Chain A
Amino acid sequence: GENVEQHPSTLSVQEGDSAVIKCTYSDSASNYFPWYKQELGKRPQLIIDIRSNVGEKKDQRIAVTLNKTAKHFSLHITETQPEDSAVYFCAASYSGTYKYIFGTGTRLKVLA
């Protein structure tokens, strides 16, 4: 079936360094790719998204890149801060529907 693979499962970086999380999807018809941040005990919240007609999108310290040919997309966080520590989920829309397929999550720890 359709799936989204996400790597790494855990990531530790020093404060101020960059963090990169990568996802690969299988459904060539996927056209929407959101990233969610989930803090401990909280709900997932959208931090950035990208549609298939765009190759890159930035929002302050966060950027997402999309390679449709290779079917992979990545989240880049620059100048990481302790408050960036959370679990990050990528997702891909499932062809012709409104549902997402979520990746398995990346636990990011930013060390002060």
Chain B
Amino acid sequence: DAGVIQSPRHEVTEMGQEVTLRCKPISGHNSLFWYRQTMMRGLELLIYFNNNVPIDDSGMPEDRFSAKMPNASFSTLKIQPSEPRDSAVYFCASSFAGGPNEQFFGPGTRLTVL
């Protein structure tokens, strides 16, 4: 298995532009998590899905952020419009949710908003 796949690995954009981050979870995993990591705030959970359904989006910072999971093998995190304070590394993770279990992290997307 290739593990969790994220794209792009790096994204540089200008303030006000739309940014879409993509994630493919490990096959057979039915929980998917989006995290944001910064020096100031550490690892923050933004949203998680179970069986493609959003369960907890309390970590989504504001309406500019949205996430979808149209099927078991694909999820997107969208920021529109982007702002410099959104600059961070965004990780996607997946797990098999028979209970709380190991979450496997993707390589992350480093987002820079100028």
Contacts and interface: CB of A to CB of B under 8 A. Distances in A.
A46 B104 CA distance: 8
Contact of B105 (A31, A45, A103): A45
Given A98-B31, A99-B45, A102-B43, A34 B102 contact: yes
B108 A32 contact: no
Residues of B in contact with A, size category? 20 to 34
A32 B105 contact: no
Chain A, interface residues (CB within 8 Å), range: 10 to 19
Contacts of A105: 42-43
Contacts of A49: 102
Interface in B77-103: 91, 95, 97, 99-103
Contact of A44 (B97, B99, B105): B105
Contact of B100 (A31, A46, A104): A31
Contact of B108 (A43, A45, A46, A98): A43
B95 A98 contact: yes
B14 interface: no
A89 interface: yes
- Give the one of A46, A93, A98, A99 with max B CB within 10 A: A98
B102 A46 contact: yes
B103 A100 contact: yes
Interface of A: 31-32, 34, 42-46, 49, 89, 93, 97-100, 102-105
Interface of B: 31, 33, 42-43, 45, 48, 50, 55-56, 91, 95, 97, 99-108
List the 8 shortest-distance A-B pairs measured between CB atoms, nearest first. A93-B100, A32-B100, A43-B105, A102-B43, A98-B97, A46-B102, A104-B42, A44-B105
